[in-house]
């Protein structure tokens, strides 16, 4: 558990590790939104959910409506607003940038994430 934590986490990966991280990084009384298709999680530690009194919701559709500071938001619009306003910086997630002609290397990096320590692989344009 992290002291403090964030108000809302949108968990979009669906693995037991990412779900565990989401629950540990959410503040007491915070909300964890599970986005996307349901899956089977072999082991789930309910401790964070119970001790931090977390609210866990599912959002199968990306246009799920959420409330933040008294304003109703579609989940996708909220995410875009948070990023474009600079309130959330996700640039650290792009761990590799390659030219389009290096697409084979990009796929290799993506399929061997652990070995390459990659999160997101993006294509860049040659100036």
Instruction: Pick the more confident residue, 45 or 126.
Output: 45
CATH (residue range 6-84): 3.40.50.720
| Rounded Cα gap, residues 23 and 18, in angstroms | 9
Per residue in 11-58, pLDDT (tens digit) is 888 888 888 889 889 999 999 998 877 677 777 788 888 999 999 998
Q: Mean pLDDT throughout 49-68?
A: 82
Domain boundaries, the chain: 6-84, 91-124
The band of 122, judged by pLDDT with boundaries at 50, 70 and 90, is very high
Checking if the pLDDT of 111 tops 90, the result is: no
CB–CB of 71/44 below 8 Å?
no
């Amino acid at each position: 558990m992290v002291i403090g934590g964030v108000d809302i986490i949108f968990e979009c990966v669906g693995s037991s590790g990412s779900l565990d991280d989401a629950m540990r990084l959410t503040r007491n009384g915070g909300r964890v939104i599970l986005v996307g298709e349901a899956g089977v999680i072999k082991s789930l530690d309910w401790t964070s959910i119970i001790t931090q009194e977390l609210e866990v919701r599912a959002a199968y559709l990306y246009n799920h409506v959420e409330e933040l500071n008294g304003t109703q938001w579609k989940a996708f619009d909220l995410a875009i607003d948070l990023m474009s306003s600079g309130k959330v910086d996700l640039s650290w997630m792009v761990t590799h940038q390659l030219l389009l002609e290096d697409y084979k290397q990009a796929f290799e990096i993506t399929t061997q994430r652990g070995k390459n320590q990659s999160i997101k692989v993006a294509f860049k344009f040659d100036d």
